[in-house]
Each structure stands twice: as structure tokens, then as C-alpha cells.
Amino acid sequence: MGQRDPAKLEHKKAAIEYFISGICGIFCLVTAYLGHQADGPAWARKMCFMQYPNGNGTFTAGPDDVYGVLMAAAALTVARRVCLDFIFSPIASMMSIVKPADKIKFRQQGWVLVYYSTAWTWGFLEIYGSKYWLDRHALWQDYPQTAAMNQSFKFYLCFQMGFWIHMVFVTLVEPWQKDFVVMIAHHIVTITMFCGSYYIGMTRTAHAILVEQDFADILLPAAKMCNYVALGKSPLKSTFQGLADGLFATFALAWIPTRHIILPIIYYSVWYEAETDFLAAGCSCGKGNECVSAPELGCILTKESFGNAVLVYKVFLGFFQCLLAFWLKELLVAVYKALIGGNIKGVEESSSQQIDELDKKKS
């Protein structure tokens, strides 16, 4: 039986991906139209407008925020498809990338680059100069931390939660790599920790972790995209190979301090400082500085229950660090191969072959 043309079929789940992206596109358009009608349905308005305003330009958190998170997930799914097909597909052709597998991965990495560049810049602007900028003790103060969020920060949090929900879909529909199980576990841990932190009103730690994690994730897709150009027939392939090598080296240098120095510092704070700082700072729950249950004010945690929340942080962040250790091993192997081969070309060629093998299995 003849081999099917990989250029006409990216992978087995391409039809499902296009179908779901199309449904998300229609949903977003209909929701946006209904949400801006004076007599539109409540669910549509909740998806289109920020909920729980305080009246002074700030916002608090509440269960209806889930509407905005789901809208963000749907919108990001559509944005990804648009970027892949109408931005990075033409660029791939313009850059003379000829191998179908490399075209596919160039487009996918283009979307990753766009997202993480946006998310890290946005998150950094929110954290820079804040009370908890370079102050780990402030990560646990001013509870509830969702009581008076500015519009930009609340939008950022909903945007990030929507992205990680969207990433579960992306990971399922893209060709499964050897770290598929680890990747899905990473996404589930991230969603659980992030959404849980938002619900209990402790957003500063989640925000700090997102910012320090997102930075290195800008460099890796940029390196891969340059390498795919170098693997093609561009007259500038040697230039792009040099860019790829430089970006990959910078990524490796950024990965270790962010994942394995800054994150453990935050983890240390969870173990040894969180409870002390939380109780010493007090809470704004309607009874002076007492930390009492007052859900209407965003106070989910109490003096007694905060220890349970810290325990969850310890378990999930510990598991998260184990996942990162797995990827550190993969990174060090890639660095070793790059050093032996002189560049990262061989590393990416082996990665591209995985998609080619998937295409062969369809015949």
C-alpha cells in the first residue's frame, strides 16, 4: 500500500484539530455578538466582560470567572490555528523549508514563540515593581490577594488559565512525543495549582512561578525555528544555524537558573516561610487582622486551614520539580549531542524523524 503524502495530512488527528478549532471560532463569534447585545444572555455577557468589579477600577475573584477562562481557552485555540495557517505557513515556505515534518514543527514552534513572548512580557510587567517583586515573604501577605486586582492583572490570570486548558487540547492533537505522559502530567499539575491558587485567593506565588518559567520557553522555540530554516534550502542556512546554536545555548543557560534555582527558592519559602509570613501579616476578612472564613470577601483560607493549603503546595511543587528534573536530563543529553556534533542540527533531525514515522504508519 502506497505511502500517503504527509503534506496533505499533518498527522492522524489533523481533522479533529481543524474541526474543534472551527467550532471554537464559531463559538467565539456568536458569543461576542450575543455578549454585546443589551438583552443578550447572561452567560455570553459573562464570557465577554470582566466579572466582580469593586467600583473603583479593581476587581475581585469569583466562580463566574470560569466563563472568561473558557472564553480565553477557545479564543487561544482559534488564534493558534490562525497563526499556524496564515502566518507561519507562508513564512515556512518563504524561508525555503522543504521537509514536511520541519514545516509542521516550524509552524507549531511559531505559535509557542508568540504565546510565551506575550505571556512573559505581560507577566513581567505585572510583577515588576509590585509588593512581591524580589520579596518572597510578600508572596504570603495581604490575604486575600484577589480582593483588589487591577483589570490588567485579572485579565492576565484568566488568560493564563485559559492557555493551560487549551494546551491540554494541543498536546492531545499534536503528534505524541516520547515525553507525552510527562507533558500531560505537567499540564494537569499546572492547571490544578493555578486554578486552585486563584480560588483560594493566593495568586502571588502562582504569578511568580509563571514569570520565571515562561522566560526560557521563549528561547527554545526561537532556536528550533532557526534550526528548521537551517535544515532547509535557504541561502542563509548557515546564518540561521549559527542563530539556532546561540539561542539554544542561551536557552540552556536560562533553563537551569529559572527551573532549578529560582523555583527551589520559592519552594523553600513554601516549606519554611509561608505559614509564618501568612499569620504574621494577618488577613482582610472583615474581622480586623483575623484570618476567618468569609467567602463573600474572597477569604477561603483560615488560620487553621492554611497549613493544609501549604501541604498541597509542597506536594504539587515537589512533583513539578520532579517533572522538570526529567526535562533537565533531556536538556543535558541534547546539549551533549550538540557539543559532540558541533550544532543542534542532529538533535532536531532526530525529532523531525518522529513525525515522518507517524506519516509512514498511515499508509
- Predicted pLDDT at 353: 44
Q: Region 198-212: what's the mean pLDDT?
A: 96
Q: How confident is the model at residue 7 (pLDDT cuts 50, 70, 90)?
A: very low
Q: How confident is the model at residue 341 (pLDDT cuts 50, 70, 90)?
A: low
CA-to-CA distance for 335 and 200, rounded, in angstroms? 40
- Predicted pLDDT at 348: 53
Prediction pTM value: 0.89
Count of C-beta atoms within a 10 Å radius of residue 20: 18
Measured between its terminal Cα atoms, the distance across the chain in Å is: 6
- Predicted pLDDT at 355: 39
- Predicted pLDDT at 140: 96
Q: Region 183-212: what's the mean pLDDT?
A: 93
The strand pairing partners of 299, in sequence order, are: 294
- Predicted pLDDT at 10: 52
Give the helix ranges, DSSP H, for 37-134. Answer: 42-48, 65-82, 89-94, 100-127
pLDDT digits (tens, 9 = 90+) for 241-299: 999 989 988 998 898 899 999 999 999 999 999 999 999 999 999 898 999 999 999 99
- Which has the closest alpha carbon to 52: 35, 40, 64, 39? 64
Q: Which long-range contacts (CB under 8 A, 24 or more apart) does 218-222 make?
A: 218/113, 218/116, 218/117, 218/120, 219/247, 219/248, 219/250, 219/251, 219/254, 220/112, 220/247, 220/248, 220/251, 221/109, 221/110, 221/112, 221/113, 221/116, 222/113, 222/247
Distances, alpha carbon 215 to alpha carbons 116, 156, 168, 190, 232, in Å: 7, 16, 21, 16, 28
Q: How confident is the model at residue 208 (pLDDT cuts 50, 70, 90)?
A: very high
Which is it for strands 58-59 and 149-150: parallel, antiparallel or unpaired? antiparallel
Q: How confident is the model at residue 101 (pLDDT cuts 50, 70, 90)?
A: confident
Which helix or strand (DSSP H or E) is residue 294 part of? none
Q: How confident is the model at residue 111 (pLDDT cuts 50, 70, 90)?
A: very high
Q: Would you tell me the crossing angle of helices 100-127 and 151-173 to the nearest 10 degrees?
A: 160
pLDDT digits (tens, 9 = 90+) for 212-246: 999 999 999 999 999 999 999 999 989 999 999 89
CA-to-CA distance for 229 and 233, rounded, in angstroms? 8
- Predicted pLDDT at 345: 57
- Predicted pLDDT at 8: 47
Task: Identify the DSSP state of 228.
Answer: H
- Predicted pLDDT at 356: 45
Q: Kindly state the percentage of the chain with pLDDT values over 90.
A: 69
Q: How confident is the model at residue 344 (pLDDT cuts 50, 70, 90)?
A: low
CA-to-CA distance for 237 and 95, rounded, in angstroms? 9
Q: Region 114-125: what's the mean pLDDT?
A: 97
Q: Region 165-173: what's the mean pLDDT?
A: 88
- Predicted pLDDT at 300: 94
- Predicted pLDDT at 169: 87
CA-to-CA distance for 285 and 296, rounded, in angstroms? 9
Q: Region 340-358: what's the mean pLDDT?
A: 50
Task: Identify the DSSP state of 280.
Answer: H
Give the helix ranges, DSSP H, for the chain. Answer: 14-35, 42-48, 65-82, 89-94, 100-127, 151-173, 180-200, 204-214, 216-230, 237-257, 263-272, 274-281, 306-341, 345-361
Q: Region 36-54: what's the mean pLDDT?
A: 95
pLDDT of 357 higher than 60: no
Q: Region 305-316: what's the mean pLDDT?
A: 93
pLDDT digits (tens, 9 = 90+) for 81-92: 999 999 999 999
Q: What value does the mean pLDDT of the chain take? A: 88
- Predicted pLDDT at 179: 76
- Predicted pLDDT at 219: 93
Count of C-beta atoms within a 10 Å radius of residue 170: 18
Distances, alpha carbon 273 to alpha carbons 95, 200, 281, 316, in Å: 51, 18, 12, 17
Four-residue CA torsion sign, 34, 35, 37, 43 = positive
pLDDT of 363 higher than 60: no
